[in-house]
Amino acid sequence: GSTIGILGGGQLGRMLSVAAARLGFRTHIFEPSPNPPAADVAHAVTTAPYEDEAALRAFAASVDVITYEFENIPTSALDLLEALKPLHPNRRALAVSQDRLEEKGFLTGLGLAVAPYRPVGSREDLEAAIHGIGTPAILKTTRLGYDGKGQARLMEPDDAAEAFAAMGGQPAVLEGFVRFTHEVSVIAARGRDGSVAVYEPGENVHLSGILHTTTVPARLTASQRTDAVLLAGRILNALDYVGVMGVELFVTPEALLVNEIAPRVHNSGHWTQNGCAVDQFEQHIRAVTGWPLGDGSRFADVEMENLIGHDVARVPALALEKHTAIHLYGKAEARPGRKMGHVNRILRPVTGA
């Protein structure tokens, strides 16, 4: 069997490694921090910074294809790796999703709707952006944000100074606050042959900027569901994408707005582990190794709940719940805000599936 190199050794890398092993592949994890969650289940682990050229070269030499579970990989490392082995998803997909301004430019270029936004590089830019967009609004660093980090909310124009300071001098983007009724996401995959498979959209609830639950099916009309699936397919095709992508959407009565895209398996796709024959992790492994994609159909309604920080203390009780699958990431320390695991509750079977 061949070996898949994975940049990043968090829980996503761990679950990708488990899926890869099921298909007879080996995984080699490249991760700067020691003892990452994926280390328990991967065939090999390289612990080195992304600046270590020799380590990157040795990693590339030991694998047949390279993918990633984390989008903030330094450009220099990607330049080096891409010249040595096939990299999926490709550089453009990564570049677009690493930078919120590029991402919004790409999405609007496809004719997709996003929240009103303005680039903010200075205090003056911020004043002009507030003038154009109004408040409430959200100021976000263009790069490196996740789980709501690197964001500041402006309830009124007077909040500008504090919000600007919170960016720590990094380039930012001001977004108008979207009065969505709810949030959904589409987990979609594209194979090396250009075929696309899309999972049913899930409805996402966030607490303090962190995903709390995903419920499938989402509350969407038939035409919204079609729009969501088609727009995901357009994004994948436009990027000549290979692998699984998460597309986060705001639902308003008028439109579906794209919040952001993630060029990797996505937390809001964890429900597929217990609702589908081929889950998002296997789907991603299939895509990057050139296997045919699974069809993405589901056989159950599912609720995924993240176990954050001390939520793991509930595991003994959760283990007594009927029709509930528990997934733990093997992290020793339950720090606040840290994703420790998740549960998938099978709510009911899909009749006729």
Specify binding-site residues for ATP: 100, 140, 145-151, 175-178, 183, 206, 259-260
Distance (Å, rounded) from C-alpha 189 to C-alpha 237?
Answer: 10
Kindly list the distances between the CA atom of residue 235 and the CA atoms of 53, 112, 240, 265, 287, in Å, as whole numbers in the listed order. 33, 9, 9, 15, 16
> Which amino acid makes up residue 213?
T
Nearer to Mg ion, 282 or 305 (CB): 305
Quick check: 103 binds ligand ATP (CB under 6 A)? no
Quick check: 209 binds ligand ATP (CB under 6 A)? yes
Quick check: 138 binds ligand ATP (CB under 6 A)? yes
Residues 232-251 within binding reach of ligand ATP (CB under 6 A): 248
Residue 206 near which of ligand ATP, Mg ion, none (CB within 5-8 Å, type-dependent):
ligand ATP
- The binding site comprises 100, 140, 145-151, 175-178, 183, 206, 259-260
Q: Locate tokens 């919204």: which residue?
A: 224
Map residues 272-301 to x or -, x wherever contact with ligand ATP holds by CB under 6 A: ------------------------------
Quick check: 175 binds ligand ATP (CB under 6 A)? yes
> Which amino acid makes up residue 16?
L
E strand or H helix at 267? none
Quick check: 52 binds ligand ATP (CB under 6 A)? no
Q: Are 80 and 48 in contact (CB under 8 A)?
A: no
Q: Pick from 52, 82, 260, 301: which binds ligand ATP (CB under 6 A)?
A: 260
Quick check: 71 binds ligand ATP (CB under 6 A)? no
Q: Are 14 and 40 in contact (CB under 8 A)?
A: yes
Q: Pick from 85, 92, 182, 206: which binds ligand ATP (CB under 6 A)?
A: 206
Find, among 329, 336, 342, the residue nearest to 11 by Cα.
329
Find, among 133, 117, 132, the residue nearest to 175 by Cα.
117
- In DSSP notation, 72-117 reads ---HHHHHHHHTTS-BSS-HHHHHHHH-HHHHHHHHHHTT-----E
Q: Which stretch binds Mg ion (CB under 5 A): 26-34, 103-111, 196-204, 254-262?
A: 254-262
Residue 147 near which of ligand ATP, Mg ion, none (CB within 5-8 Å, type-dependent):
ligand ATP
Q: Which residues bind Mg ion (CB under 5 A)?
A: 248, 260
Q: Which residues bind ligand ATP (CB under 6 A)?
A: 115, 138, 140, 145-149, 175, 177-178, 183, 206, 209, 248, 259-260
